[in-house]
Amino acid sequence: MDHTVDIISDPDPWLNTTTANSTSSYRPTMSPVMDKTINIIMIIVLFVTMVSLGCTMEVSKIKHHMRKPKGVAIAVVAQYGIMPLTAFCLAKLFKLAEIAAVVVLICGCCPGGALSNILALALQGDMNLSIVMTSCSTLLALGMMPLLLYLYCQGFSDLQNAVPYVEIMISLVMILVPCGIGIIINTYRPQYSRIITKVGLIIMMIFIVVIVTLTNIGIGRVMLTVLSPPLLAIAALMPLIGYSFGYVLSAIFRLNQAERRTVSVETGCQNIQLCITILKIAFPQEVIGPLFLFPMIYASFQGTEALVLIVLFRCYQRFMKKEKETYQPAVTEEELKETTEGTV
């Protein structure tokens, strides 16, 4: 019996729990040429992004934080403890179908991305810690991502065989190569690092627009699947929970304020480019459908919520500055006499 889902008869096959019991696939509407083009573009984007990320990594700073690993250890626990658990709980709470649950879990298990470094800078965080956290979570992803996916998939009856571990491992190995190239450039040709980072960010933004446009042309009629209320709610809640619990966890272990803000944004920010590439490359088109675009929805909420935090932080800084200027201690007569005597 053919259990392939027909998009026309069921517009939401990836979210319908009844459909998930049979199979979470659909008849591909995107042409093979278009699909292959998007895959190639994604690989290029990921390569450029990881080279740019590598250009921000300094071996000396990594060694320094490795000698005093308290902040890094807390950050790693937050990254690979809070986010995967949050993804698992939300997938259970919203009763997602098989493939949608896998997508959310993969997004939750991804390492931190380069955006977190920019946000840490905007929040006046510890930039050295931010870069080391991103570096460590990226390197640890090779082992942690498959392990966490395997463990959390045990909590779903139909997910044990739904995750393509081999393809995910290959994708993770692929990110270490460009990241290593970036580190080498930053070590031996540091004058090019800033240029490469800026150019990489511009290329990434352009190609993301291209990917969304091509996807909309190829499977535009099923794009609303990614904008369904359950996935929108999960995309909004995940970064918010990550930011909040990252800050709380670092406060419990008495990190300073700059380190707390850094751990907060590093926890809530995921490597979106890596997540999209894994979903698009590791899963066949007839299985993943338009759900490989879920990380972009996550990224929009991730960035918006971070922007709100930055605005609130800046407002708080201005308020505290004005308060200090307004309530300066009055100068006593004795202090005034001392200053006048000193000037005479």
In a domain, 119, yes or no: yes
Count of CB atoms situated within 10 Å of the CB of 58: 18
| pLDDT score recorded for residue 12 | 47
Q: Quick one: tokens of 40? A: 């190639």
| pLDDT score recorded for residue 220 | 57
Give 59's contacts (C-beta < 8 A, 6+ positions apart).
183, 187
| pLDDT score recorded for residue 90 | 94
Give 287's contacts (C-beta < 8 A, 6+ positions apart).
24, 25, 99
Helix, strand, coil shares, percent, the chain, to 5: 80, 0, 20
Q: Quick one: tokens of 335? A: 């202090």
| pLDDT score recorded for residue 22 | 34
Q: Quick one: tokens of 157? A: 């009856």
CA distance 51 to 8: 42
In a domain, 163, yes or no: yes
Q: Is 214 exposed, middle or buried (0-12, 13-18, 19+ CB in 10 A)?
A: middle
In a domain, 258, yes or no: yes
| pLDDT score recorded for residue 91 | 92
Q: Is 95 left (phi over 0), alpha (psi -120 to 50) or beta?
A: left
| Token pair 């997508």 in the structure block, residue | 103
Count of CB atoms situated within 10 Å of the CB of 263: 34
- Containing 173, the helix (H) or strand (E) segment is helix 165-188
What digits encode the pLDDT tens for the residues 55-82? 877 777 767 767 777 777 887 888 899 9
In a domain, 218, yes or no: no
In a domain, 25, yes or no: no
| pLDDT score recorded for residue 244 | 93
In a domain, 97, yes or no: yes
Structurally, the chain folds into a number of domains equal to: 1
Phi, psi of 26 (to 5 degrees): -145, 165
Distance of CA 282 to the CA centre of its chain: 19
In a domain, 276, yes or no: yes
Closest CA to 80 of 156, 163, 144: 144
| pLDDT score recorded for residue 2 | 40
Distance of CA 66 to the CA centre of its chain: 23
| pLDDT score recorded for residue 83 | 92
Tell me how many helices (H) and strands (E) the chain has: 16, 0
> What's the CA angle centered on 54, arms 176 and 122, to 5 degrees?
130
Of the CA atoms within 13 Å of residue 95, those in its CB half-sphere come to 5
Cα torsion for 74, 75, 76, 77, to the nearest 10°?
A: 50
CA distance 224 to 335: 71
CATH (domain of 160) = 1.20.1530.20
Could you list the pLDDT tens digit for every one of the 344 residues in the chain? 343 333 333 444 444 443 333 334 444 556 677 767 777 877 787 788 778 777 877 777 767 767 777 777 887 888 899 999 999 999 999 988 888 888 999 999 988 876 787 788 788 888 778 777 877 887 788 788 888 888 888 877 666 666 667 767 776 776 678 878 888 888 888 888 888 878 877 777 777 677 667 766 665 555 566 678 899 999 999 999 999 999 999 899 888 888 889 889 988 888 887 888 788 777 877 777 778 778 888 888 888 898 899 889 888 888 887 766 665 555 555 554 555 555 54
Residue numbers of the domain that contains 295: 34-212+227-306
Three-class SS state of 123? coil
In a domain, 245, yes or no: yes
CA distance 303 to 296: 10
